[in-house]
Amino acid sequence: MKRLVLLSLMLFASAVRAEPIGEVDTVFKLIGPDHKIVVDAYDDPKVSGVTCYVSRAKTGGIKGAIGIAEDKAEASIACRQVGPIAFTAPLPVQEEVLTERQSILFKRLRVVRMVDKARNALVYLTYSDRVIEGSPKNSVTVVPVDRATPIRLK
């Protein structure tokens, strides 16, 4: 039983892990790391052949160096077909694919997958929220799926 739980956790953790693609400095900081924009890649854990690229601001300076900086609630997303699309199981109409903490207590970056059944497409929405107030800043991208590969729904 312990092995099954450990294996499940390892599979889940590897499915939503960010792969750093690159970064650019935006503001020089004399003490601590510079402010930057980072680009990470995330593979959809239930749709093989789809990768989402998310760019977001990362605060530097002393607070950024020790992990207590509040990053801006802004992100951009571009999901692309990077191989043959296949589904591991029927998909729900809407599902959170990724949640990543952006500050110690208050904010998470979220990516939600929605299925547009009429157009046989996958819609990915990214946004950042806070415990107290949500952020209206968001970004959306669409991955069309060939009609020969229908999207099965739960």
Each residue's pLDDT, cut to its tens digit, for the chain (154 residues) gives 444 333 343 344 445 678 999 988 877 667 766 678 889 999 999 999 999 999 988 776 666 556 666 666 678 999 999 999 999 999 999 999 998 876 665 577 889 999 999 999 999 999 887 645 655 688 999 999 999 999 999 9
Residues 134 and 110 sit within 8 Å (Cβ to Cβ): no
Is residue 7 in some structural domain?
no
Is residue 2 in some structural domain?
no
**Cβ atoms < 10 Å from Cβ of 80:** 12
Is residue 67 in some structural domain?
yes
Is residue 101 in some structural domain?
yes
pLDDT score for 65: 58
pLDDT score for 11: 40
Q: How many domains does the chain have?
A: 1
Catalogue the long-range contacts made by 98-105 (C-beta closer than 8 Å, 24 or more residues apart): 98/16, 98/42, 98/52, 99/16, 100/18, 102/56, 102/71, 102/128, 103/68, 103/69, 103/70, 103/71, 104/67, 104/68, 105/131
Give Cα separations from 19 to 14, 36, 44, 124, 143 (angstroms).
10, 17, 12, 18, 20
pLDDT score for 100: 80
Is residue 1 in some structural domain?
no
- Length of the chain counted residue by residue: 154
> What is the tally of helices (H) and strands (E) in the chain?
2, 8
Residues 52 and 74 sit within 8 Å (Cβ to Cβ): no
pLDDT score for 145: 97
Q: Which domain does 55 fall in, by range?
A: 16-144
Is residue 79 in some structural domain?
yes
Is residue 151 in some structural domain?
no
